[in-house]
Amino acid sequence: MDRLVNTVRPYAWGSTTAIPELLGQAPTGEPQAEMWMGAHPGAPSRTERGPLNELITADPVRELGERAAGKFGPRLPFLLKVLAAGAPLSLQVHPDLARAQAGHAAEEAAGIPVDAPHRTYRDTNHKPELICALTPFDGFCGFRHPVEAADRMAALGVDSLKPYVDVLHAHPEEAALREVLTALLTADPDEMAHTVAEAAAAADRLGGAHAPYAMLAHHFPGDPGVIAAMLLNRVRLQPGEALYLGAGVPHAYLEGLGVEIMANSDNVLRCGLTPKHVDVPELLRVVRFEPGDPAVLRPEASPSGEEVYETPIDEFRLSRFVRAEGAAPTDLTTPTPQILLSVAGRPKAGEVTLAPGESVFVPAGETTELTGAGTVFRATVVA
C-alpha cells in the first residue's frame, strides 16, 4: 500500500483551525478548506512511487483491478476529502450524467475555454456527493415545502418579499418553487440588494431560526442566494451522520468538519452566495424542484464491524470502522481500489500506523488488515 501525501486547498471559506487540529499541527492563520485524497489531476495525492494519478494511468488494471478499470476506465472514479467549513460555501447543484455530457459537448462546440470563468461543464461526469460529519455540521439541503418557506419569509415583514410569499401559497409546490427561484435570480440587482438588506436586518432582529440568513447576508451582502436559502431545509448533522446529495439537489454548507466523497468531477452550477458566474437558464434545467425533508443517513453495521453509508451510485462507497482497544483484526482485502483515512486513534493498516488525518491508498487485491484502536473511513467503489 502507499502512504499518501495530500494537498490542503486554502479556499477563503475554510476554517483556520479544524484541519490543523485533526492533523495535530499548529494553525497558520490561513484558511484550510479541503484536504484532497485521490487522483484528481488538480491536486493528486503523492506517494513514494509517484503521483497517484500517474500510477493509475501507467497500470490501471494493477492499481484499480480488472472490474473497476473495466467499469470506470483508467481513472480512480472518486475523490475523498476532509472538508472544513468556517464560512458558508456557495449555494449549488450538480448535473446528472446525461446533462453533464450534453452540456460539456455544447460548450466545447461553442469554443468556450475549459478554464473560462463562465464555463459551466468542465468535464463529462456527474458529481454525486456524500458528506459525513466529524463535528456538528450545519448546512442547507433540498427544498422545504413552499408553505413553510412562505411562512419563513412572511415573518420578516419585508414588503418586497410579499409577491414571493403569495406565489408560494397560491401555486402547486414544484411550480411555486421554480417560479420563485427564477424570479430571485433574474431580479434587478439593485432592487434585490435592497430586499436582501431589509431581510437581513429583520432576520438579525428575530434571531432563532432566522439567524442563518443574517449571517449569510453578512458574508454575501445583496446576494439573492440569501433569500433563495429560505426555500431550503436547514440541516444540522451530528458526528457520524451523513447526507447524500444527488443530481439537481440544491445545497450549501455553513460550518463544520466532515469527510466528503464524490464522483471525480468539477461540474458545479451555482445558485447564489458567490461572486462567481451563475448560469440561470442551465441551472433551471438541472434543479429538481421537489420539496421534502432531507434524508439524514446513519451507517448500517455489518458483522465485520464495517458501518456502511448506503448510496445509489457505483463511483464510490463510503464506510467506517470504529475500533476499540483489543478488537480482532479486520480483513479489508478487496478486488477494488481503496483509500483508508484515520480520523481518531492510531490504528494500523497492515504495517502502516495512521495518525488522525493520515491516509493510505491500497491497490486492488492487495492483502490488507486493519488493527489497533481508532476510527477509520474506507473509500472504495462498487464494481
Query: What is the dihedral angle through the alpha carbons of 296, 286, 230, 32, rounded to the nearest 10 degrees?
Result: 70
Question: Residue 364 is which amino acid?
Answer: A
Q: Is the pLDDT of residue 383 over 90?
A: no
In angstroms, the CA 334 to CA 332 distance is 6
State the pLDDT at residue 304. Answer: 84
Say which residues have a Cβ less than 8 Å from residue 326's Cβ, sequence separation at least 6: 373
State the pLDDT at residue 28. Answer: 94
Among residues 270, 317, 323, 378, the one annotated as catalytic is: 270
pLDDT tens figures, 80-104: 999 999 999 999 999 999 999 999 9
State the pLDDT at residue 300. Answer: 85
Cα distances (Å, whole numbers) of residue 106 to 111, 265, 327:
9, 17, 54
Annotated active-site residue 285? The verdict is: no
State the pLDDT at residue 151. Answer: 97
pLDDT tens figures, 111-153: 999 999 999 999 999 999 999 999 999 999 999 999 999 999 9
Q: Is the pLDDT of residue 301 over 90?
A: no
DSSP assignments along 159-186, one per residue? GGGHHHHHHHHHS-HHHHHHHHHHHHHH
Q: Is the pLDDT of residue 286 over 90?
A: yes
pLDDT tens figures, 220-229: 999 999 999 9
In angstroms, the CA 164 to CA 195 distance is 12
Is residue 43 a contact partner of residue 52, using CB atoms and an 8 Å limit?
Answer: no
Average pLDDT over residues 45-56: 97
State the pLDDT at residue 325. Answer: 94
Average pLDDT over residues 6-30: 97
Strand partners, 352: 349
Average pLDDT over residues 29-44: 96
Average pLDDT over residues 149-161: 98
What confidence category does residue 171 fall into, taking pLDDT thresholds of 50, 70 and 90? confident
Average pLDDT over residues 144-166: 97
> For a pLDDT cut of 90, what percent of the chain falls above it?
97
State the pLDDT at residue 302. Answer: 85
